[in-house]
Structure 1
Amino acid sequence: MTRAKTVIDTTGDWDPYARGCPSRELLDQIGSKWAVLVLGELGKHGPCRFSGLRQRLDGVSEKMLTQTLRTLERDGLVRRTVHPEVPPRVEYGLTPLGQTLREPLKALTDWSVRHIPDVLQARAEYDTRTG
């Protein structure tokens, strides 16, 4: 698979509202359900093996977890470390860049837990009006 070359803009004029801006793609990736949960889990508990992540993230498939970890690794948010043991032990942990997402993602997660009753009520009211 050939990857498109990314143009590095050193002016800092990124606009996620503009079509084609790489920051829009990054928001899409880090805002995905599994990325939020993987980053949150690694931020909360530190480096973890694939099997440990899979157990803690109830409902994630092996394929989806693999894709999510690869994307996060490519974006420089997660580091994959292979320990020279027999059999090899592989761990995933946050990079320094990934660590910078801990606070905003925790705030988002906390908000969702705190406001889910309000959202569920709004959904029920909407469904009653439109159903």
Structure 2
Amino acid sequence: MEEKIYNIGVEATMDVIGGKWKPIILCNLRYDSLRPSDLLRKIPSISQKMLIQQLRELERDQIVTRKVYNQVPPKVEYSLSEYGETLGDVLDILCLWGESHTKHLIAEGKNVTLRCNN
């Protein structure tokens, strides 16, 4: 296996949780286990294909766990793994900064809405 070299710690973080969707998915899983359909409702602009791809990558990196219930119809839930929960402070800071940034944009007269404060 080829050695992975990071020049700064944030590179390692972004390698796992970077991109448009992963932080949003993780913030939604912060306090609840959710089914993919629940995540799609909470993140209406993500496609089902993209959601599943991102969840698989997060599962591969051991950030989320996938629980399959043995029932008909099949039921699957995702939650933060114990390791994923170590991202709690990072996710909280991202959410707080986003709330502050939204207020800043509104103060500048931008047409911005923040639907939910977690």
TM-score bin (small chain): 0.7 to 0.9
RMSD across aligned positions (CA): 2.5
Q: How many residues align?
A: 108
Any unmatched runs of 5+ in structure 1?
Answer: 9-13, 124-131
- Give, in angstroms, the shift of residue 106 of structure 1: 1.5
Tell me whether 1:39 sits opposite 2:23 in the alignment. no
**Amino-acid identity (%):** 35
Rg (Cα) greater in structure: 1
1:90 alignment counterpart: 76
Q: 2:67 aligns to what?
A: 81
| Structure 2 unmatched ranges of 5 or more | 111-118
| Corresponding position: 1:51 with 2:34 | no
1:1-131 equivalence runs, <5 A: 5=1, 7=3, 15-17=6-8, 24=11, 26-44=13-31, 46-118=32-104, 121=108
By how many angstroms is 1:39 displaced? 0.6
Which amino acid in 2 is paired with 1:24?
E
Larger fraction in helix: 1
Report the TM-score, using the length of structure 2 for normalisation: 0.77
- AA aligned opposite 1:66: I
Residue pair 1:76, 1:98 contacting (<8 A) in 2 also: yes
TM-score normalized by the length of structure 1: 0.70
